[in-house]
Amino acid sequence: MNLVRLRRPSSSSLGRCLPRPWSPRLHCSDAAAAADHIPQAKRGSLPSLNARSCCASRVQSNSLITRHGRAGNLRGAQAVFDKMPHRDVISWTALLTAYAENGDTASARAVFDGMPKRNTASWNAMITAYTRDLRIREAADLFGRMPEKNVVSYGAMTSGFARAGMLREAEELCAEMPPKWRDPIASNALISGYLRRGELEEAVIVFQRMSVRDVVSWSSLVDGYCKHGQIDEARKLFETMPEKNVVTWTSMIRGYMKGGLWEDGFLTFLAMRRDGVSINTITLSVILDACTDLARIGEGIQIHGLILSMGFGCDTFLGNSLINMYFRVDCLTDAKIVFANMEKKDVVSWNSMITGYVQTDRIEEAHMLFEQMPTRDVVSWTSMLVGFSNRGQLEESVHLFREMPQKDDVAWTAMVSGFVGNEEHETAFRWFVQMLREGILPNPFSLSSILSASAGLTMLNQGMQVHACAVKMYLESAISVQNSLVSMYAKCGNLADACQIFLSIRDLNIVSMNSMITGFAQHGLAEEALELFRKMQTNGYKPNQVTFLGVLSACSHGGLVEEGYMHFQSMSSSYGIEPGPDHYTCMVDLLGRAGLLTEAAELIGSLPFDPHSAVWGALLGACRTHFDLGLAKHAAGQIFELEPDNATAYAVLSEMYSLAGLRKDEEEVRAAKRSKGLRKNRGCSWVTLDNRVCVFFAGDKSHSEWREIFALLSVISREIEEISCYI
């Protein structure tokens, strides 16, 4: 039966092969109603779908099917097709293409199979639909059955192979196609495939052998050079291009920005405008992201003004970028205004606001917005988990986690990291084990977090087990895991393995350097720490606040007062880093260890902020070492004001009174301590034996063989004293 001659599609085989919702059973009144499915913005450009249009000529109907398809109105396209008295191969191909371009590959195939006659365009449309879905086997099957192929056929199949990473098959297809069809379409697909796989050199080879290049060829390679950090090569290619489009300009601008060349990127943007190139939302987003990353709020506000003047003020994508930018520079009011004025908010818009509130420690506002969200995704939930954990509200974090409808590895990682960040290391281990039991595979960040827990507990065996887990999962080369391994081994006393892993890291970053410098400092190897710091500067790494904490700690442990002072002063003078409370604490400790107690006290007096208890604690510890009772009383008094329940300060002061023979003062301090119900935590240590952690305290006699243990410790102490006499 000839389907083209049928007037009632419900009896045709097409009606049986198409999905039920789109079954061709619409009457003219239904077809007219189908126009309601067309977006308002696009409806005005389409002819009225009434009786006249249904009975229009075949050419008009074919055109109408195509236009409905481009508008995303599949019901309207199907309705026009159903009412056509005479359909040709173009009609069928138009309907097939409408389904294919809107992602309904199953319906497209149903139309394809029901076609009484096919042309090359219909075969190409079906192959393109399959390659778009990466269903390469079905695409290749159709390609092999094609009676006649053209340049579009080869281009679609080559692009499909390349997108699927099947570059050998793509190369073979390029080799067998007629040379006149190879460039530029098929070769462009190869270039994109190689760049997607990170093989820049292969992409360059394809580009160089092309006989014909278009703007896509040039733009792809410019973008490839930029993504591989070869900005100079990208610039050379960009400047020699015979023709540039908005994609090329945007790729070059993004390359400059990602490479830290802000001025070059912004000048290129201005040149783009001078050349009259139409700027799109992606270009503006690239500039906004750069303003955000570099905290260039002045330029960001100018770009915001440009967005409004160009009529992009309602664009959701740009609105999300603006929210991120304003939050990054702590312009909360501006972020709220952008969000409030957005006509259409997607889940990213809501998440951007929640994340911004969390990052600026406004957890109450974040939670309020979270409760108002029409639709939440895993990012929304995870952002709130992070917010509660950062505040130390672990119970709220656990409660929220229990309510999550879907928990992925990112959510579990947020929980593990939250416990580690709040020094609940044992709890972090329990959650990590539970994550594994739930069948959730750890990612590099969860492994990094649990390694930090191992370091916090100085549990070397557990850390080594996590290391083995990373190796089994082929994650040991992830930079976050490697950095955490360096830190874990160093903190657990295994500096040799820490050094070995550090030397094996291919792409060292500032975190790698900081971990190793801190490791050297913790082991009292001041010279090694400072030597690595010097090499780091020579190799172009810019130190940050954590770097200087390690450097100052190394100087403190090594008694290098002058060098410590030099590095402390260079923080602001050479690197623009303002010392924080922890840096001042290191300096007080450095001076105190060297016996320069007066200088340490003067430094505290010159602080640009109110000293916290840790600074006074460092001074109190130094007073105890060098026995300066007067200064110790002052330091302890400051600690009592800041932390009235600090048992350690009471213990140190009473001990110093006792050593000075001031029994009355000693008893007064002890009485004050007792009245507050304070007890100084006893010194505690532990050792892992046969996968069991054995904990013991100072003066602990709970072990059944405590007498033998104390006798052995006495022998060891005498041997140490004898050895020290010769040092």
> Mind listing the pLDDT tens digit for each residue in 561-614?
999 989 999 998 888 899 999 999 999 999 998 889 999 999 998 888 888 889
For the chain, the average pLDDT equals 84
Name beta bridge partners: 685.
Answer: 696
From the DSSP assignment, how many helices (H) and strands (E) are in the chain? 44, 2
Q: Report yes or no: 680 and 647 within 8 Å, Cβ to Cβ.
A: yes
Name beta bridge partners: 105.
Answer: none
Q: How buried is residue 165: exposed, middle or buried, by Cβ count under 10 Å (0-12/13-18/19+)?
A: middle
pLDDT band for position 176 (cuts 50, 70, 90): confident
- Whether 724 has a pLDDT exceeding 70, the answer reads no
Q: Which amino acid is at 585?
A: T
Contacting residues for 703 by C-beta, under 8 A, at least 6 apart:
696, 709
* Architecture of the 580-681 domain: Alpha Horseshoe (1.25)
SS3 content of the chain, % helix, strand, coil (to 5): 70, 0, 25
Q: What is the pLDDT of residues 308-349, one digit of tens each?
A: 888 888 889 899 999 989 988 888 899 999 998 888 899 999
What string of DSSP letters covers 453-518? HHHHTT-HHHHHHHHHHHHHTT-TTSHHHHHHHHHHHHHTT-HHHHHHHHHH-SS--HHHHHHHHH
Cα radius of gyration rounded to whole Å, the chain: 35
pLDDT of residue 17: 33
- Whether 524 has a pLDDT exceeding 60, the answer reads yes
pLDDT of residue 488: 94
Q: What percent of the chain has pLDDT over 90?
A: 37
Determine if residue 276 is left, alpha or beta; phi over 0 gives left, psi from -120 to 50 gives alpha, anything else beta.
Answer: left
pLDDT of residue 172: 85
Least confident of 194-198, 223-227, 363-367: 194-198
- Whether 691 has a pLDDT exceeding 60, the answer reads no
667-692 average pLDDT score: 67
**CATH 1.25.40.10 region(s) of the chain?**
580-681
- Whether 230 has a pLDDT exceeding 80, the answer reads yes
Name beta bridge partners: 686.
Answer: 695
Minimal CA–CA distance to 492: which of 538, 461, 466, 537? Answer: 461
Least confident of 84-93, 111-120, 185-194, 447-456: 185-194
Q: What is the pLDDT of residues 41-87, one digit of tens each?
A: 344 444 444 444 444 588 888 889 999 989 889 999 999 999 888 88
CATH topology of domain 407-507: 1.25.40
Q: Report yes or no: 246 and 278 within 8 Å, Cβ to Cβ.
A: yes
270-296 average pLDDT score: 88
Three-class SS state of 536: helix
Minimal CA–CA distance to 384: which of 393, 79, 150, 199? Answer: 393
What b/e string do you get for 462-486 counting C-beta neighbours within 10 Å, with b at 16 or more? bbbebbebbeeeebbebbbbbbbbb
d(CA 457, CA 474) in angstroms, rounded, equals: 25
